[in-house]
Amino acid sequence: MIERSYISQEEINRQMAVADRLNTELADRCLLYYVETFGCQMNVRDSETIRGILERIGYHESPDKEHADFILFNTCCVREHAEKRLMGNIGSLKDLKDEKPSLIIAVCGCMMQQKDVAKRLLRRFPHVSLIFGPNVLFRLPEMLASVLEGHRTAVTSEENYAIAEGLPQFRDNPRSAFVNITFGCNNFCTYCIVPYVRGPERSREMSDILSEIESLTLSGVTEITLLGQNVNSYGKDLPEGSFSRLLNEANKIPGLKRLRFMTSHPKDLSDDVIRAIAENDQVCHHVHLPVQSGSNAILKKMNRKYTREQYLETICKLRKAVPDIEFTTDIIVGFPGETEEQFQETLSLVDEVGFAAAFTFAYSPRAGTPAAKMSDQIPESVKKRRLSELNALQSKKTVENNAKYVGVEDVLLVEGYDDRSGETILHGKFQNFKMVYFPGKKDLMNQYVLVRVLSLKNNSLIGEQINE
C-alpha cells in the first residue's frame, strides 16, 4: 500500500493561474476543442476534467474535428486493437494539420503511460504536439502553454500518483454523473495492464467524495455512479472508511435518487456491502461483477483470488438479500492454457447465473503482464470461436432475462433517443439497469418516466409511457 498524497493547493492554484493567463491572452480568438475518449468510465471521467480545464482556458466544444483548434485523444490500452485504432485516427489528421498549422493535436490517457508506445507515437507522427499520462492531467494548463509557445511537449511515465482535488469539471449530463472514489489498482490480475499504467490503489477522502456528490445534487444531478477499478476495496488505505460506510453516508444526501457503483471485485464484496445495497433506498439493485472465467484453474492463473464456488455464493447471497437485483459481468475467453473443458465451465457458469448482460473479450496479450509471457497462448481462431459461442449463449440468456420484464411497470431515467426512422424512440434504465425503449417526446430526455414493458424485440425491451 503506498502512502496517499495530494497535489498541493498551491500547485493547483498555480495551474489555474496559468489557465486564467491563457484565457486573457487568447480572449480575442474563438478557440474550439474536440475530445475523443476511448475505454472505460475512468477515461470518460478524466475527459470531463480535461474539458473543464479547456473551458477555463477559454476553449469551447467543437461539434467535429474539422472545426477544432485542439484535438485530443484520451486513450485506453486494456486490449491491443486500441493502439492500431488510435494510430489510424492520428494518421488521418495529417491533412487537417497541413491545412491548419495552428491546430494542436494531443494524446493522453493510459496508453501514453507506456513509454515505448509514447515514443513510437512521437516518432511516427510529427504533427502530434502534446502527449501526457493520466496522472499529470492537472498540469494541462502549463503543458498547453508550452505547446502554444511552440514547444513539442511530452510528460509521461511520471511516478507521481498524488491525488488532485479541486480541478474544474465539464459534465454533459444534467441528471447523471460519475464520481471517482478510488484511483489505480493493487490486484495485478495476470492479464491486466491497469495497475502498471494507473498506479497503486488510492482512495479519495470520504468527505471529498460526499461534498462532490452534494454539490452535484444541488445542481440537479439525481443519479451518481461511484467509480473505481475495485470499488469494494475503497477505504483500505484510510484510517476509517469502507465502501459500505460510503454507501450508507452517500445514501443520506438530499436530492439523490440513484446511487450506482462500478466495478465490484468478487473477492471483496463483503456482507457489509450486501447489507448496504439491501438497506439503502437510493442504492440501485445492480452489481457489475466481472467473473472473467468459470474455471477454478483459470481463475487461479489469472490471480483473481476467488473460486467459481465463492463467486456463485456471492451471487446467491445478493439475490437472497435483494430479490430484484440484476448482474452484469466481464468475461475473457482464450486466456493462456484455457482448455475446451475449462471454456465449457465458463459457459456453464453463464448458464447458471443468468447475467442481464456480459461484456465478453478474447484474451489480448499486454506487454509487461505475466500472462503475456505464458507459453501456452491460445490461437486467435480458437479465441474467436469461443467468443462467438459465449456470445450466442449470453444472447439467449439476455432474452430469457428480459422476458420476465414483459408486463412490468417501473420508473426509468431517460438517457437517449433515436429519431432516424421518423419516430422518436427514447431509451432509459430502470434502477436495476434494465434498459427499455419506448416512443415519446424528446423533451423527456433526462426525466424520470413511468413505463410499462409491452414486448421483447430482438434482445431489447419495448415499452410505453404510462403517464404524461
Residue 359 binds ligand SF4, judged by CB under 6 A: no
Q: Give the distance from CA 44 to its chain's centroid.
A: 6
- From the list ligand SAM, ligand SF4, none, which binds 195 (C-beta under 5 to 8 Å, kind-based)? ligand SF4
Total residues binding ligand SAM (CB under 6 A) = 18
Q: How far apart are CA 417 and CA 435, in angstroms?
A: 12
Q: How far apart are CA 45 and CA 182, in angstroms?
A: 12
- Residue 99's Cβ-count burial label (10 Å; 0-12, 13-18, 19+) is exposed
The stretch near ligand SF4 (CB under 6 A) out of 33-41, 133-141, 188-196, 453-461 is: 188-196
Which CB, 51 or 265, lies closer to ligand SF4? 265
Ramachandran area for residue 458 (φ above 0: left; ψ -120 to 50: alpha; else beta): left
State in angstroms the smallest separation of the CB of 265 from ligand SAM. Answer: 5
Residue 229 binds ligand SF4, judged by CB under 6 A: yes
CA distances from 26 to 58, 139, 278 (A): 7, 19, 52
C-alpha cell, 23: 484565457
Q: How far apart are CA 360 and CA 350, in angstroms?
A: 11
Residue 197 binds ligand SAM, judged by CB under 6 A: no
State in angstroms the smallest separation of the CB of 374 from ligand SF4. Answer: 16
- From the list ligand SAM, ligand SF4, none, which binds 100 (C-beta under 5 to 8 Å, kind-based)? none
- From the list ligand SAM, ligand SF4, none, which binds 370 (C-beta under 5 to 8 Å, kind-based)? none
Q: What is the DSSP string of 424-455?
A: -EEEEE-TTS-EEEEE--GGGTT-EEEEEEEE
The candidate with the shortest Cα–Cα distance to 425, out of 412, 436, 409, 438, is 438
Residue 366 binds ligand SAM, judged by CB under 6 A: yes
The stretch near ligand SAM (CB under 6 A) out of 43-51, 189-197, 312-320, 414-422 is: 189-197
Residue 198 binds ligand SAM, judged by CB under 6 A: no
- From the list ligand SAM, ligand SF4, none, which binds 79 (C-beta under 5 to 8 Å, kind-based)? ligand SAM
Task: Tell me if the bond preceding 263 is cis, omega within 30° of 0.
Answer: yes
Residue 79 binds ligand SAM, judged by CB under 6 A: yes
Question: Out of 12, 16, 40, 96, which residue is the one contacting ligand SAM (CB under 6 A)?
Answer: 40
Q: Which residue's C-alpha cell is 488532485?
A: 164
Residue 188 binds ligand SF4, judged by CB under 6 A: yes
Question: Out of 52, 58, 168, 195, which residue is the one contacting ligand SF4 (CB under 6 A)?
Answer: 195
Q: In DSSP terms, which residues pair with 160 in a beta bridge?
A: none
- From the list ligand SF4, ligand SAM, none, which binds 386 (C-beta under 5 to 8 Å, kind-based)? none
State in angstroms the smallest separation of the CB of 427 from ligand SAM. Answer: 24
Residue 308 binds ligand SAM, judged by CB under 6 A: no
Residue 292 binds ligand SAM, judged by CB under 6 A: yes
Residue 267 binds ligand SAM, judged by CB under 6 A: no
3-state secondary structure of 467: coil
The beta-strand segments (E) located in 156-237 are: 176-180, 182-183, 202-203, 223-227
Residue 41 binds ligand SF4, judged by CB under 6 A: no
Residue 346 binds ligand SAM, judged by CB under 6 A: no
Instruction: Give me the sign of the Cα torsion angle 131, 136, 141, 146.
Output: negative
State in angstroms the smallest separation of the CB of 398 from ligand SF4. Answer: 23
Helices (H), 289-339: 296-301, 308-321
| Calculated CA dihedral for residues 343, 345, 351, 356, nearest 10 degrees | -70
> Interface residues with ligand SAM (CB under 6 A)?
40, 78-79, 191-192, 194, 229-230, 263, 265, 290, 292, 330, 332, 361, 363-364, 366
> Interface residues with ligand SF4 (CB under 6 A)?
185, 187-189, 192, 194-195, 229-230, 265
